[in-house]
Structure 1
Amino acid sequence: MPYAVIVDDNLESSETLAILLEMEGYDAATAASLGEARRRLAEHRPDVLILDRALPDGQGMDFIEEALRDGPMTVVLLTGLSDAADAAEAVRRGAAAYLVKPTTIDQLKAVLDQAASRTTSQV
């Protein structure tokens, strides 16, 4: 079962997304800060990391490269800010996608499925 960590300081949003991902066959956990995300990643490296752009202790954008340093995973920046330059920067740093809230589980699932198919075709 793929494992996802959702990093968002809006507890309601992250818990809702975790439930939706679990309905799609993921094991999901939440973190409300980058510090908590680091602990989660150290405990069990996820297949998927979903990051909010602005967090209480830093920027999700800045965490992308740190998260990817220890090995591959699918990173999605999920934010309320629609900004083409930020989207390009997120992808340049290694994110699979930059999605703007509100997004649907179908949009997120399409990104995750596409990332998974790229990973399996590279093996």
Structure 2
Amino acid sequence: MEAPCPPAERRSPARRRNFPLGPLAAGIAMQPYAVIVDDNLESSETLAILLELEGYTAATAATLAEARARIAARRPDALILDRALPDGQGMDFVSEALSAGPMTVVMLTGTSDPGDAAEAIRRGASAYLVKPATIQQLKAVLDKAQQAARQAA
């Protein structure tokens, strides 16, 4: 298991976010856990920091292979997924990710295509946001999905 990075290292674009397998391993209270899958490290690191300010723990992945490893180690509450990644299409990964268990999947992409948005929702994504989306927009989607999950339980 890897320990969380100290804050100064966490903000370094050369360092990917790695968190322990579970929140108790690091003494972290049960906070929602998000995995951000984007090959733009600066964007994913910034988003991870913003989500942490909103009460999440966050990890980043630059490829679908890294995302699979993150999900296998600890199923996230939220998966924020870019459309185009070096080793595949985020859209194709939505169903695979959801097969690991319940989670909120948000497509966050630079492609503003209504057909893609409809396809993402059809495949199980909770939302399709176009970059640059604000943290408030993303948080609203995540909050709505968490509330729906609580009501369903």
Given the two structures, how large is their TM-score scaled by the length of structure 1?
0.99
Within 2, Cα distance between the matches of 1:31 and 1:70? 17
Which structure shows the higher helix fraction? Answer: 1
Deviations 1:29-76 (A, max 9, x none): 000000000011111110000000000000000000000012110000
Letter in 2 for 1:105: I
Match of 1:92 among 113, 122, 125: 122
Which structure shows the higher strand fraction? Answer: 1
Q: RMSD of the alignment, in Å?
A: 0.4
Aligned pairs, number: 123
- Secondary structure of the 1:49 match is strand
Letter in 1 for 2:52: E
Is it true that 1:21 corresponds to 2:51 in the alignment? yes
Indicate the structure whose relative CO is greater, using CA pairs within 8 Å and at least 6 residues apart: 1
Query: Which residue in the other structure is 1:104 paired with?
Result: 134
Structure 2: any 5+ residue segments left out of the alignment? Answer: 1-30
Letter in 1 for 2:59: A
Match of 1:57 among 87, 90, 99: 87
Within 2, Cα distance between the matches of 1:50 and 1:58? 15
**What's the % identity of the aligned pairs?**
75
Given the two structures, how large is their TM-score scaled by the length of structure 2?
0.80
Deviations 1:10-46 (A, max 9, x none): 0000000000000000000000000000011111110
Which has the higher Rg, Structure 1 or Structure 2? 2
Is it true that 1:8 corresponds to 2:38 in the alignment? yes
- Secondary structure of the 1:94 match is coil
